[in-house]
Amino acid sequence: MKKIYFAIITIAVMLCGVSCVKDQMYQGPATISEVNFTPGSVQPWDEVTVTATISDLRSIKSAIVKYTVNGTQATVAMSNSGEKYTGVIPQQADKAEVNFTVEAVNELGFTTTSDVKKYTVAIGAIDYTKLRLNELNGNDKFMEIYNTGTTPIPLEGIYIEKDGVTNWTCDVRTLGKDEYLLLYSEDVTADHPEQPAALIFHSGLSAKKNVRIQLFTPAGISIDDFNLTAIAKTAKASYSRNDDGKWYHTDATPGAKNIQGSDPVEGLE
């Protein structure tokens, strides 16, 4: 009888070991996306409004903008409407360099920090509208930005997205009148050992697939958008912009003036 009793107890313990363990509850961390700021060109009399989308299966306990001005750190609290959070960085002096992140803490204390965004306070607006995506090549894996304006344009903080994901952000540099900025994919760095690391974008680039390449200001405002949604044929070389601003199939001219094409790129939105 005792043997039967102990056998029953053993079976019960084994079954409980399988079925009585509770599933682990999701505890964090939060997801922070769409971090942007306005105005795009910050002057000494501007407060800077930072926005971000913060989501978590747990509730968010707090969110802040953590910023550094010329090496001195400070924070401001963010308010929210649903998952949209807003914080305001106060006015800063001319030529102040501001770096900031968004930081969120959920109810269980898990902390998430966004990538760093930056801007420099400067009297006078920067006209980013003169920047253009100029040539895209999925065979040799390069992209090109061109300054169509008549004055140099500071590029610090501008960035490129491929298919909605950031793959390159510019460091401190300026693009002069009629100058080209040439970027190569990390897939071909071995073929271009002379290429500075700061001018390598972190994705591939296809000549035979749909692709969307977008150029943005540091504040997240779209400057230019190449959106190929229905590819008609494989590109033998480059997608290039003619002087009329339209895209054509042409031979590659990395870092130099485009050949004026006669074969339009079809399938662009």
Per-residue pLDDT reduced to its tens digit, 188-202: 999 999 999 999 999
Per-residue model confidence (pLDDT) at position 21? 44
Domain boundaries, the chain: 31-120, 128-264
Lowest mean pLDDT among 35-39, 116-120, 151-155, 234-238: 151-155
pLDDT of amino acid 191: 96
- Measured CA to CA, the distance from residue 42 to residue 121 in angstroms comes to 5
Domain 31-120 matching CATH 3.40.50.300: the answer reads: no
Q: Please state which CATH number belongs to domain 128-264.
A: 2.60.40.1260
pLDDT in tens, 52-93: 999 998 899 999 999 999 889 999 999 999 999 999 999 998
